[in-house]
Amino acid sequence: MSLQLYVGNKNYSSWSMRPWVLLTQAGIPFEEKMVRFDAFDATSTFKTTVSAINPVGKVPVLVDDGFAVWDTLAIAEYVAERFPEKSLWPADAKARARARSVCAEMHSGFTALRNHCPMNLEASLPEIGRIVWRDQAGVRTDVARLTAMWTGLLAEHGGPMLFGGFTVADAYFAPVCTRLRTYALPLEPQIQAYVDRVLALPGVQAWTQQALAEHDFIAFDEPYRAR
């Protein structure tokens, strides 16, 4: 197997988490290449390292025998085609289209939640979550949309994951689940139960444990903590 996956710091890199969890949870072997977030300017070690692999200079990047695929959706599609036996998308055509739709919605949306509640796995910030929930209407709107989306999908497909079994969609929303936990945002019981199931997935657990072992405080990724 020739797959390599370039990722950033596990504590902070929500986009890196998605394909890593997807590959790990699906049992697809790969070699991890972690590139530390030292800085993002053109001369930083991170930027020069990643730019040598893909022209965008961002992670994640999947490299298959020298062929680079970047962007999480493109990586998910490539892996799903490369390993059709893993059933990474739902088998039903309409369910598959819906799964792609909600992944694309995550890809381009939920900006208030992403901006005000950045991923930080080692932190517990319920006090920040209370302030954000009070002051940021966009975050409340994003959580309401997640609640409606997840409630509908779980009811339609019977759970335990959004489309029954584990798919790309669950990997895509895994970092969202960590945000909801870190900031202790208020959730309806069925949504909290789904979050708990995602966080308990072996692939998510493995990522989380490795994130907690980093002990690497990146100041520019820490809007709420000073140390």
User: What integer pLDDT is reported at residue 1 of this predicted model?
Assistant: 55
Q: Is residue 202 part of a domain?
A: yes
* CATH code for the domain in which residue 135 is found: 1.20.1050.10
- What the block records as the tokens of 175 is 């970092």
Q: Is residue 215 part of a domain?
A: no
Whether 34 and 103 share a structural domain = no
Give bridge partners of residue 61 from the DSSP assignment.
Answer: 6, 70
- What the block records as the tokens of 73 is 């959706």
Which regions in the chain score pLDDT beneath 50? none
Considering the entire predicted model, what is its pTM? 0.97
- What the block records as the tokens of 14 is 């929500």
Half-sphere exposure of 66 (CA within 13 A, CB side): 0
* CATH code for the domain in which residue 68 is found: 3.40.30.10
Tally of structural domains, the chain: 2
User: What integer pLDDT is reported at residue 2 of this predicted model?
Assistant: 87
Domain C-terminal end among 44, 61, 86 = 86
User: What integer pLDDT is reported at residue 226 of this predicted model?
Assistant: 92
Whether 146 and 196 share a structural domain = yes
Whether 101 and 203 share a structural domain = yes
Q: Is residue 182 part of a domain?
A: yes
Condensed to tens digits (0 to 9), the pLDDT of residues 36-61 reads 999 999 999 999 999 999 999 999 99
Helices (H), the chain: 14-26, 45-51, 72-82, 93-108, 111-116, 126-135, 137-157, 168-182, 189-199, 202-212
Range of the domain at 15: 3-86
Whether 75 and 143 share a structural domain = no
Whether 111 and 48 share a structural domain = no
Whether 25 and 75 share a structural domain = yes
